[in-house]
Amino acid sequence: MRIHYECFMCIADQCQRIIEMSTDDLEKRKKAAVFAAKLMSKLKEDSISGIVASEIFSELYKFLGVEDPFKEYKERSNELAKKVLGSIEKNLDVDLKTALKLSIVGNIIDFAVGYSLEKIEGDIIQLINEDLYIDNSKELFDRLKNAKTLLYLTDNCGEIYFDKLFLKKIREEFPDIKVYIAGKEQPAINDATVEDLRNAGLQEVGEIVSTGFGIVGVPFDRISGKFKEIFESADIIIAKGQANFETLNELGDNRIFHLLKAKCRPIARELGVPQGAILCI
């Protein structure tokens, strides 16, 4: 997906968030904001939103001298996700389809840090009671029956606990499938790195692999080595969240199933769905 007009402001907004997460020193924040302002000229009309954003964030990290400014935030999301999920699993009989929906709506953990457990759990239960706005899950499950390998592209921390549950259900249903679970090589905002995946025990439900980059989504024209082999040979690819959609949708690759909530206007516009829609496409 190429940038839409709103991406400029959204990237600026995330730069401010990165700056605030990285330092409390107001002078350093100002210098970083002036530096980020200059980085904005990287935006071109044909830029792929997730890629150009990641390039800007990565230079800003270097300027700020930080490796992972979202570390604490990611830990809080993980803690919250674990608790919410523990409670949901107690109160709800989670089948494969429910686990798929949970893996999509688990994304709201990203906005929920600070809310009460009850509120988040309530919101999630409400969302999984809704139908998917576009629902190709039957086709996904049918094709998983005959698949030998599945590549699962994760998105944010927090959400990865919901992914773990979904992958557990997939393995129960399709025990012969070989599952690869991709995380980022280096930190990129609140995306799960391979280290985050390991810490969350994702190795219990598949083999953790690295995309090779600290870039949100998959920069498919730059991937190499083992990840490239897995990406190219996978029978089915489940791609979570907006950034994987932004970086992969133009491939038109029918092995890829996108599971996402269309959180922002550009994604909703690109897909022709209402903002907020939850989708398996």
Question: Binding a second copy by CB under 8 A: which of 1, 21, 38, 126?
Answer: 38
For position 265 contacting a second copy by CB under 8 A, the verdict is no
β-pair partners for 265 = none
Nearest distance in Å: CB 24, a second copy: 11
Question: Binding a second copy by CB under 8 A: which of 1, 18, 19, 243?
Answer: 19
Stretch that binds a second copy, among 36-44, 72-80, 176-184, 235-243 (CB under 8 A): 36-44
Q: Residue for token digits 């799960």?
A: 192
Nearer to a second copy, 45 or 131 (CB): 45
Nearest distance in Å: CB 6, a second copy: 7
H-assigned helices in 92-202: 96-105, 109-112, 117-129, 137-145, 159-173, 194-199
| Nearest-angstrom CA–CA distance, 25 and 104 | 37
- Sign of torsion over alpha carbons 194, 198, 202, 207: positive
β-pair partners for 135 = 280
Nearest distance in Å: CB 129, a second copy: 32
C-beta separation of 178 from 167 below 8 A: no
Nearest distance in Å: CB 268, a second copy: 13
Q: Residue for token digits 């692999």?
A: 209
For position 96 contacting a second copy by CB under 8 A, the verdict is no
How many CB atoms are closer than 10 A to CB 256? 21
Interface size with a second copy, residues (CB under 8 A): 29
Nearer to a second copy, 8 or 111 (CB): 8
Binding region for a second copy (CB under 8 A): 3-9, 12-13, 15-16, 19, 26, 29-34, 36-38, 40-45, 269
